[in-house]
Structure 1
Amino acid sequence: MGGVGKTNLLNEINNSLQGGDAYNMEFKYVIYLVVSKEPQFEKLQKEISERLGLQPPHSMKNDIFEFLKNKDFLLLLDDIWKAVDLPETLGIPLPHHQSQNWEDRGPRYKHKVIFTTKEDDVCAQMKADKKIKVECLDEEEAWHLFMQHANEEIISSNVVIKKLAREVMERCAGLPLALKVIGRAMSNKKTPEEWRHMLKLLIKVDIKTVTDIEESLFHNLKVSYDNLVSDTLRECFLCCAQWPEDERIPVYDLIEHWIALGLISDFGNIGEAFDEGYSIIAKLNETCLLELGFYFNSGDEYVKLHDVIRDMAQWIVSECGKEKNKWIVCGRGDDLRQFSEWEAGNWKETELISFKGTNFNKTLQKLLSDQNIVEKGQVSCASTSPRYPNLQSLFLEGYSKSVHMSRQFVVNVFPHMPSLTHLNLSGIPITGLSKEIRVLVNLRYINISNTKIQSLPSELKELKELKYFLFRCKYYRGRDVLKVDGLSTLSMLPKLQVLDLYGNTCLEAGDLRLLMERNRMKGISMLVESVEILRLLKHLPTWKIRLHSMQNMHTLQFCDLSYKHDEGLMELGITRCGFEELLINGGGSRV
C-alpha cells in the first residue's frame, strides 16, 4: 500500500551506498530510478546514461548493456506497477541467475536488482529471489516516529496532551506517511483543546478491514492541508498536483506557474516573486507535504509529491471525490482512451486540462473537438454551445515531435472556452496563432515557448486582460536571431506585466519605449543585439538577458543591465560578443 515506507527504504539503501560505501559492497555502480505507473523508458535510459557518464548515443539501451555487462552494479527500481523487461526496455543486463548459460560468458559479475511495488504479482513476474513485505509500524515504532515530527517538548510537558497525542497517533494506524504528515501538523498545537479538536477530525482507520483505505487516509492527511496557515499556501500545494504522478517538478517552473496563476501577485519585480516562491516551497517542505531534491547532473532543485499526497490533493480539488472531472491531468504514457469516450456533458464542470509530455495525437483531438470528428488533422466544431464553459486552464506541454499539429487544430476549440484564463502550448509544433485567439477575452497568461510560431496576429492586442506573455526559445549555437512578425503587438497590451522573449527573440527600440511609458512592467527578458536596446532595458525590470553579436562593446558592467542592478536579474547569457572586460561591481545577487 502507499505511504508504508517502501520508497524511503530504497532511498536509504541508495544513500548508504554512495561514494566509497558502494565499493565496500563490491558494486562499481549504484543506479536509482523511479519507474511509475506508466514508464517513460527513453527518459529512464537517459537517466541511466547520465549516471554512468555515457554520452547519449543513437541507441542508448544497447550502449548501456555493453557498458554494464562486465561491471558490478546494483539497480534500484522504485514504484513498479507491472513487470519490466530489463534488457529490452532499459538495456540492463539480467541478474546472472536469470541469464542463460552465464557460465559460458566468462567471469561472473555482480548484477543485483532491488525494486518496490504495490502489486504482489509483479514479484512473481520479475522472478524475484526474495520478497519482503513492508508492514505498518507497531505501536512503539509508530509513537517514536510521530514524536520525531510532532513537538516532543509540548507533549511531554502535559499529561492530558500526551494521552491525546497517543490517540492521534493510533488514528494513523502505523502508516509512516500519516504519522509524519499528521505529526508535523500537530507540532504547533499547544493546548488540550486543540488536540481534542484535531482528534475529532481524524477517522479511525483499520488497515485490515476498511475497504476504502485510501479515502479514509485522505481524510486524515487533509488535516495537514487544513492546518496550513494561509489560502495561498493551500492553493500553491494543490497546484503541485497539476503535474503527472511521480514527476520531478523543477522549482523554477513551479514558481513561475504560481506567478502565472496569480498565487504570487504582490511583487515589484520578478525577483521578489521568486523569493516569495522559494519561501512557500520551504514552508510546504516543513509540513512534509512535498519533498525537495536535486537533479543528479545539474544540481538544480526539484520538488516531488508522494503519490498518496498527490492523490489526496486531487481528491481535495474534486470536492472530496464528488466532482471527479474538475481537473484532468495526464502525463506521458497515460491511457487517454477513457476520456475520448466521454459525452459532452462530462466536460461541463472541468476547470483544468493538463497534458504534460503526452503523446495525445488523435485522442486529444477527439477530446478537444465538439463532435468527436477528426479528419486529416482538422477538428470540426459545429456546435454553438461552449463545450468547456468553466475551463480556466489548458496546458498542452511537451507534445510529441513526431505528430503534426496544425494551427487550426488548437484554434478551433477557442470559442468553446469562454472562461479560459491560462493557456500553455509550450513545446508543441504549432506553427502560428490564428486571429480566433481574440475570443479569449479573459486570458491572463499565455506560453508559446519553444514552438514553431514565427508570426503573431494583430488580434492579440484585443486580449485586454493579458498580463503574462512567454515566448522564449532555447538558444542553439550557430542559429540566427529569430525574427517574429507582429511582436510590436505586445507593446499594445494594456495590462502586460511580464514579457519573456529569452533566447533568440527581441523587441524593437520603439516597442520598448512604449512599455516604459506604461510603467506597469514587473519583468522582461529578451535577446539584446545593440547598445541602444541595452540602454533602454536599464529602465525596465530586466529578468533574463542574452547579449548577442555585440562586437563593438568591449566592457560590460552589471549596472548596465537593470534599472535596479542589485536585484531582479536572474540570468545573463553572452554569445558572439567581443567583451574584453566584465565588471561585477556589487550587483547581480541573483545571477
Structure 2
Amino acid sequence: MDFLGPIMDILPTLCNCTSSRIDIIRHLQENLTSLRQTRDELEDISKDVRSRVEHADQQYRKRTNQVEGWLERVQLKLQEVQNILQKGEQEIQKKCLGSCCPRNCYSSYKLGKEVIKGTDAVNDLINKGKEFRSSDDISEKLPSPPVDEIPVDKTVGMDSILNEVWRCLDDHKVRIIGMYGLGGVGKTTLLKKLNNKFIDKRRGFDVVILVTVSKEVNLVGIQEVIRHKVQIPDKTWEKKTDKHSRAAEICRSLSGKRFVLLLDDLWERIDLRNMGVPDLSSHQNGSKIVFTTHSEDCLSFEKSFELFRQCVTEDVLNSHHQIREFSVTVAKECKGLPLALITIGRAMSNRRTPEEWRYAINTLQSHPSEFADMKSSLFQVLRFSYDSLRDDKHKNCFLYCSLFPEDHMIRKDELIDLWIAEGILHNYGLDDTRDAGEFIIRSLKHACLLEMVGDSDDYVKMHDVLRDMALWLASVKENKIFVFENQESIKKHGIATWKEAERISLWGRSVKLFSKTPFCPRLLTFVVRQTSVDTFPSPFFQSMHAMKVLDLSKNIFLTRLPPCLK
C-alpha cells in the first residue's frame, strides 16, 4: 500500500488546480463586467491624455514618443477588449439558453483566462495613463526650423539688389554685408526676402536668424531672439543671470554652427560680442552677417573713406598733395555717417585748393550742428508725403502721433480721443468727429505716414524714421513736441526748454519728477504714462493755462494730485 502515499500527495494539488479553473469558469460574468468597467475607465483617461497632447500640438510642441506609443497601445488594446467582450456575451448567451453550466468547459475556461489577462493589461495602461494625465512631460518643444518664413508684400524692382547681396554671400572673402538706404526705400523688405530665399537655397548654412535692432538697442530682447533660434534650453538660459553670461552661452552655441545673422534697422555701431556673436575673422566656417541701416555711424572707417573718395573723385584728391591728407580728416569728421559722407563728399567734389579743404575742416570741427543739417536733408526727402497731405488738420494729426514712444502700438480709438480732446477735430459735429478721425488715420496710412500693426485694424504705429521727422518738423514750426522716456533725457534736455513746447509726454518706469516747477504757457497736451511719478507738487501746473489734455493713466505710484487738479 506504499504506492498510495504519492497518490495522496498529488490529490490536493489536482483539487486546487481544478478548483481554480472552476472559479475562472464560475466567475466569468463578473470578470466580464470588471473588464468592461476598466475598459470604460481607460477610454476616459485616453481621451484626457489625447486632449492634452492635441493642445500641445497647437502650441507647436511635439508629443513624446512614450505618449504616442501609449496612445497606439490603448487603441489596439481597446479593440482587443471589444473582441473579448463580444465572445463573452456569446458564451453567456449559450449558458443561459441551456442550463447554468457551460456546454464547453474548456472554451469557457480559455475565455475566462483571456478576460483576466485583458483586465490586467488594461489596468497597466490605466496606471500609465494617470501619470500622463498629471504630468507636464507629455510633449517637447519642436526643433526650430533653420529658416522662419516671413510674410512679405509683393515687391517690384528689388531682384537685382537681392541677387547682388546673394552673390556677396557666395563670396567666401565677404563676411559682413551692409545695406544702406533712406527710410522707406525697402531695406527691411529686402532683408525679409533674403531671409525667405534661404528656405529653398540653404547654401550649407545651419541657421538663419533675423533680428530687428532699432534705434534704442534692446540687448536683452536681441539675445532672446537669438537664443530661441539656436535652441538654448530654458533651464540653461535661466541660470545665466546677466547679459555677459548669456552672451557667452550664445557664443558657445553659435560657434558650432554655420549661421547667417540678419540685423535690421541699425542706427549706430553695435558690439557683436555683447550680443554673443563670435568674431567672424576667427570664425572660419563661412558664417555671414547682413545688416541694414539708414544714417547712423555703422560703417568702418575703411568703408567710410571708400564711400567719401567715390563722391569726391580721384581727380580732385590728386589735384594737390595736401588734399588727400585733408580728405582723411574730413571723412573722420563725418563719424561714419553715410548721408554725411555723401553730402559733404559731393560738396567738396569741386574744391581743388588746400585753403578750401582747411575751411571745410574748421567748419565741421567748430560747428557740429552742421550734422543736424545733414540729418534734415534726409527728412527733406521724406517730407514729400507730409507736404502732400490735404490740409493742416491732417498735418497736425500726423505730428501728434510722434508724442508716443518709438515703436509704440497706438490704439486708434485712444488716438482719436486725444485729437478730439485737444480740439484738432473741432470743425466737425459731435456725431462726425470719430468718423473724421478714422478718415484721417486712413489718409495717413494711405500716405505711408502711419502703418498697421500686423493684421489688426485697431492699432497703428509710426515708423521710427518718420517719427524723428515729425519731431523735427514740429521744432522748425515752433510747436515743439518733447518725448522723454527716462530721467536722463529730461535732465539733458533741460526743463527751461519746456516753455517752447506745445506737447510733452513722459513715458517709462525710470521717469520721476523733479523739484523745479516748469514754465509751460503754450502747453496743450501733457501725457504722463507708466512712470514712477507718485505726486505732483502744488505749483507744478500753475503756468499751464493753455492745457487742454492731461493724461495721467497707468501711473501705479501716483497717489496724490495738487489741489488745482482735484
Q: TM-score range by the shorter chain?
A: 0.3 to 0.5
Which TM-score applies when normalising by structure 1? 0.44
TM value normalised by structure 2: 0.46
Q: Choose 1 or 2 for highest CA Rg.
A: 2
